[in-house]
Amino acid sequence: MNPFGDPRKLMKQLQQQQEKMQAEIAALVVEATSGGGMVKVEVDGQKQLRRLTIDPEVVSKDDVEMLQDLVVAAVNEAGRKVDDAIQEKVGALTGGMKIPGF
């Protein structure tokens, strides 16, 4: 007798949970800011930039480097937030078990 029950049923349940998690990740949208909110970005679960908002006060042809740094910082922070959200979802699914590749 298998202590885990019917393996086909178990595989189907795992597949359904994986599909649900993939849908949640696809629907995920995070926002991050830098420069005290001067630059805002919105990134989806695949880390694709969806929106970039720059406060006109920070736009200066004399300080393009600062603006570039703020954009990079906001995009990187959004990427970290996506990673954290995915880890949280995977952790909930696996019960905190560490699975290679996740």
pTM listed for this prediction:
0.73
Give the model confidence (pLDDT) of 42-76 as tens digits.
999 999 999 999 999 988 889 899 999 999 999 99
Is the model's pLDDT at 100 over the cut of 80?
no
Calculate the alpha carbon distances from 46 to 3, 23, 30, 32, 81 in Å. 37, 11, 11, 15, 12
> How many whole angstroms separate alpha carbon 17 and alpha carbon 13?
6
Domain spans in the chain, listed from the N-terminal domain onward: 7-94
pLDDT attached to residue 92: 74
Q: How are the residues of the chain apportioned to helix, strand and coil, as percentages rounded to the nearest 5?
A: 55, 20, 30
DSSP secondary structure code for residue 56 in this structure? G
Assigned architecture for domain 7-94: 2-Layer Sandwich (3.30)
Dihedrals phi, psi of 2, to nearest 5 degrees = -80, 125
